[in-house]
């Protein structure tokens, strides 16, 4: 059973209480701003506009409440993947005939281990730009099974072996794409013109 209650509770807190394993210290977020953003219901967020590009540091997909609803394998996958805003070097891949160009501030998901490699030189399935929140799940599964388990040249052996081991453990169907979409919303993501962005109304994690 999917519990959205946990996510709702997570969304009701400032993001620094939700996100763990971030390699950056979370800056203080002013409480009223975070609270008003978190209080926005999904319907309100649908009307939200994309925030100005370039405001947020990459953050892990994983949230502490994931443990309650997702298998160990899925939690570990989420720890290897981070949410990022497309920057200048990400836009350079546009030249290679994408049918929908990446635009500044557009949000994607990527392997956190090879983000040091220029985007166009990364191995297969290292990053994706989901068009909708409910694509987060499937694209992350592809990053896991194709990139993390096979192609990534930067993932530490311990992490890869951990993923291989956990994947073999059969667990009841947990989470699923609705959970991943709800978790994306809790991170402040919105859908706009078939792309994902951080919403203007989501708490800003400026320096």
Does position 37 interact with Zn ion (CB under 5 A)? The reply is: no
CB of 8 or CB of 149, closer to Zn ion: 149
**Closest CB 43 distance from Zn ion, rounded Å:** 36
Does position 112 interact with Zn ion (CB under 5 A)? The reply is: no
Does position 113 interact with Zn ion (CB under 5 A)? The reply is: yes
Does position 185 interact with Zn ion (CB under 5 A)? The reply is: no
**Closest CB 111 distance from Zn ion, rounded Å:** 3
Does position 144 interact with Zn ion (CB under 5 A)? The reply is: no
Does position 152 interact with Zn ion (CB under 5 A)? The reply is: yes
Note whether 62 and 79 are within 8 A (CB).
Answer: yes
In the list 114, 125, 127, 136, the residue contacting Zn ion (rule: CB under 5 A) is 114
**Closest CB 15 distance from Zn ion, rounded Å:** 25
| Spacing of C-alpha 111 from chain mean position | 10
CB of 5 or CB of 156, closer to Zn ion: 156
Does position 111 interact with Zn ion (CB under 5 A)? The reply is: yes
Does position 163 interact with Zn ion (CB under 5 A)? The reply is: no
Q: Which stretch binds Zn ion (CB under 5 A): 6-14, 52-60, 123-131, 181-189?
A: 123-131
How far apart CA 177 and CA 98 sit, in angstroms, is: 25
Does position 143 interact with Zn ion (CB under 5 A)? The reply is: no
**Closest CB 131 distance from Zn ion, rounded Å:** 22
Does position 56 interact with Zn ion (CB under 5 A)? The reply is: no
Q: What is the 3-state secondary structure (H, E, C) of the chain?
A: CCCHHHHHHHHCCCHHHHECCCCCCCCCCCHHHHHHHHHCCHHHHHCCCECCCCCCCCEECCECCHHHHCCHHHHHHHHHEEEEECCHHHHHHHHHCCCCCCCCCCEEEEECCCCCCCHHHCCCCCEECCCCHHHHHHHHHHHHHHHHHHHCCCCCHHHHHHHHHHHCCCCCCCCCHHHHHHHHHHCCEEEECCEEEEECCCCCCCC
| Chain residues that interact with Zn ion, rule: CB under 5 A | 111, 113-114, 126, 152
């Amino acid at each position: 059973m999917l519990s959205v209650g946990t996510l709702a509770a997570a969304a009701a807190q400032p993001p620094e209480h939700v996100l763990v394993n971030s390699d950056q210290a979370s800056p203080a977020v002013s409480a009223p701003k975070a609270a008003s953003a978190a209080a926005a219901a999904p319907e309100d967020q649908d009307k939200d506009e994309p925030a100005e590009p370039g405001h947020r540091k990459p953050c892990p997909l994983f949230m502490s409440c994931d443990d309650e609803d997702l298998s160990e394998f899925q939690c570990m996958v989420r720890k290897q993947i981070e949410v990022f805003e497309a920057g200048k070097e990400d836009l350079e891949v546009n030249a290679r005939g994408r049918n929908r160009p990446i635009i500044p501030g557009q949000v994607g998901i990527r392997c956190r281990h090879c983000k040091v490699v220029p985007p166009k030189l990364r191995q297969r399935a290292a990053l994706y730009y989901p068009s909708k929140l409910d694509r987060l799940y499937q694209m992350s599964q592809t990053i896991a099974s194709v990139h993390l388990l096979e192609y990534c040249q930067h993932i530490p052996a311990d992490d890869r072996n951990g993923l291989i081991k956990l994947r073999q453990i059969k667990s009841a169907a947990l989470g699923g794409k609705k959970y991943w979409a709800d978790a994306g919303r809790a991170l402040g993501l919105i859908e706009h013109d078939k792309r994902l962005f951080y919403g203007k109304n989501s708490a800003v994690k400026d320096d």
